[in-house]
Amino acid sequence: MATNITKIFLVLNSGSSSEKFSLYEGEDEVCSLYFEGIEEGGKKVFICTVTKENGTEYVVDKKWNNLDDAFKEAKAIFEKEGYINDAHPLDGILVRTPAAGTYFSKHHIVDDETFVELEKAKVTYPLHVPGAIRGVKNAQAAFPGVAVMTMSDSEALTRETRKDALYALPKEVIKEFDLGRWGAHGSSYGYVMGKIKELGILEKKMVICHLGSGCSVTAFIDGEPVYTSMGETPLEGLMSSTRTGSIDPTVGALLGEKLGAAEAIKLMNKQSGLVALAGSSDMREIIAGAEEGVEEAALAYNMFVDGVAGKIGEFAAKMGGIDAIVFTATIGERSIPVRGSVISKLGFMGFKLKNDAAMDKSKGYTNVAEDDSKPVYVIPTNEAAYMIKKASELVDAVEK
């Protein structure tokens, strides 16, 4: 049975004090609801902003005392706008879940086992999993009878081709905590590699750099993942906007002993990385500061670039070379300085950028390399599109 690309899905993004539902028809986002808390009269209330596909938006004329109550009316708001009705019912609701153990290395339609596994996952993901649990429960309450699916952030990386999936820890410890280098940004890598194959630009040995608020690098041979920079959690690997990146595990242990595990994990996830070094998590501000001679900004920028170039170099050594490099996500797609700084360190590998490369969005990709260079592609990612494709496959499998 062919996948129906006109299925209607809601993609849920649960924050610590907010919820966002993005409604998709096929791969096209047609409407979103954003529930957030504001201060009013000395207390916190929640409002909902509706954004339509043409970019117009308005705030719903109602306030709620808590997020759960607000969210229960999501279905009514979508119905009032005419996006959901008996003739156009929802096919499913998608909740992105972190790569916390074997269970979440795959996508699932939520059942009782899902909640058991989510509770287990709180051990390594105390910041992210509670939001996912709340999101799933809110979705079930607001849209009774609609399938809710947990979409794995590591599924596209969980392949037998991976050569770096294990930690050098005692087997009994691995088993007890279900540990592994699951990786993350899987929806982005899955989408970009699919696009590479579709465009006919697949090379034997490729490295994709997902550089956004979170950053990772993954190496592929013949289109299959072999190495990735993130591990059991996204803390491993590259420094990013607010994450430390790889550090001596003893530092994490000492922080955990002093602050408690949850607070230590929060510090390393939310208060570190670029924001700790430069006082900003925005790469544009850091670049501007570095150009103005701000020492902290220059340090943060150089450490970031060294981290990305170093990881590419590591993967080149492990694969015996690289035939093409791809940049994606917000920084990767938009920051010419970052791409230039990274590639300038890789000239010895046969890579060189054009000085005036312009994006050609009509092709879905741009080769920003000089004519005598190996390819350096910029390919916009679309994580929601990948999740919707996989959710459609899940739904179709159940309907067969």
Residue 255 · residue 268 · CB < 8 Å: yes
Helix axes 383-399, 186-199, angle to 10 degrees: 90
Strand order in the sheet with 92-97: 57-59, 43-52, 28-40, 18-25, 8-14, 92-97, 148-152, 108-109
Structure tokens at 329: 């996500």
Chain Cα centroid distance, residue 318: 25
3-state secondary structure of 39: strand
Residue among 341, 252, 343, 250 at smallest CA distance from 298:
341
Structure tokens at 321: 């070379």
Chain Cα centroid distance, residue 189: 9
Residue 367 · residue 376 · CB < 8 Å: yes
DSSP label at residue 155: G
Residue among 208, 209, 215, 210 at smallest CA distance from 242:
215
Determine which one of 61, 68, 153, 164 is catalytic.
153
Structure tokens at 52: 């339509």
3-state secondary structure of 196: helix
Burial class (CB in 10 A: 0-12, 13-18, 19+), 167: middle
- How far apart CA 8 and CA 83 sit, in angstroms, is 9
| 323 given a catalytic annotation | no
| Number of other residues whose CB lies within 10 A of the CB of residue 257 | 10
Backbone angles phi, psi at 121, to 5 degrees: -70, -15
Task: Classify the phi-psi angles of 368: left when phi > 0, otherwise alpha if psi is within -120 to 50, otherwise beta.
Answer: alpha
| Number of other residues whose CB lies within 10 A of the CB of residue 262 | 12
Q: Which amino acids are annotated catalytic?
A: 153
